[in-house]
Chain A
């Protein structure tokens, strides 16, 4: 196992715990919670094997499901993010990024934000669409999707900004 995998094993277990202890307390109203657990899927090495990434994302989603009693909802959302990530990376950063990792300090916050926006939109689309059973509430689903995505994105950008400043 490569030594650079160790931090990601720690992130795999610690981010969901941090989400429960800290970020769940930032629930806006009662329906919107910033899902910063997405940082793991965002910064998972881009040059790693895509099949392995799909499996890791699925297990990560299942772990979140177990912690939050969401019965497969996060697993579906995370594995969809993992599937579409190569396309997002190519469209935001260009073709070279399949071979070079996304580094927080060396990438502009604007590009990172655009990348995160795509990841968050895909995750939240699956999360909210699969989470409802009745399409009579389509307006509510759209509202939750839009505001939930913006709220999560706001937190992700703020965290990345703080980490960039801190490392400089």
Chain B
């Protein structure tokens, strides 16, 4: 039903797509697989009229089409489920669906929209309240609204851009059931993901992109997760990691009965406690938005603590400010590396020195000692394999993975005994992620106490000695590695407690 041939799209300085072919058959789930920046999103944005290709042609149902705008894409039966939902939070579900449709005589009469929406939602088992405002909905419901928007317009070809990134494992199962019902009706699906297990489960065909080019086409029965990973990265990749048990020391970080308020005055953390011992990684798993950010900020003195206490090395921190917390030997890799981890406008060496610039030998009599700084930075860049033209390159010009390496080089090189690491591999490529994991393990081997906050369930389970699931600000469990299975933790992430019935 869809044939894209010879698609090339250039941006200043990069070729995002080069001679890409993609064919999707009716009733098929066709997966686009690739790392960040491989060109998956560019390709589907061309299909949806958000970008215009420089070369190549698009055929839908055998006819050559020019897709110059999303409106044109919609009229050709293309629907898109965006990675960052394209929903207006202050409008209701029905209003979001009606947006862009032409009402009778210019009136936005919601009654017929609501009626048809309910019909479509029932047919596909996508339960939703049409009169709820988007901001009131949970992430899974928002995604249903996003899918319904496309189905309401009777999209025959649906593009799903990383639809599982924000979902809990049970929600992923529900989504996949929906997708199968859509293909059984003869709709074609383009599924974008970099989660290999999901790709193996849902795909009929897989096209792998790397650096904007198609590097392979396969089906799940012909390949394996390792095979897919190797195609994505372009070299052998070993998935999974054997983390040997090691003895732990004293508790270095103790969080006890923490209550913290979120940005909107809501209780973001409620009676939250966790202990991390020397030589131990404790993973905080959970869907983001359940108090993870507030936890890291509270420990690091960036957010006031309402009650409860934080102890580092058996002594409470009286007035937590980033400076006093750092002085006690705590380092922090924040989840938003471009907003809180690094200053994009500063160069690599300036970012590397942000913590230590006030100390000798890097400053004398108030003057920065550029010789000592350059020496230190060159050493860090080499040891942490940061790919940068020079230490004076502006940091925002580096790739996400390399910016993260700069942050990690700065935070891990200090003699911190406690590391707060939030979403360390989000949005970076497999190679850089492997590297971050190695560094975490070597810090663990050196006796650091590490609190690893991550929404990547595989990462949490693979790296952690113990797993704490955070749900709506509360700790749902504290499981040792051997007991933390995907199913068990995945269920806890949805708020289903093990010793209580499911919440109503």
Tell me, yes or no, whether A binds B.
Answer: no
Q: What residues make up the interface of B, taking CB atoms closer than 8 Å to A?
A: none
Q: Which residues of A contact B (CB under 8 A)?
A: none
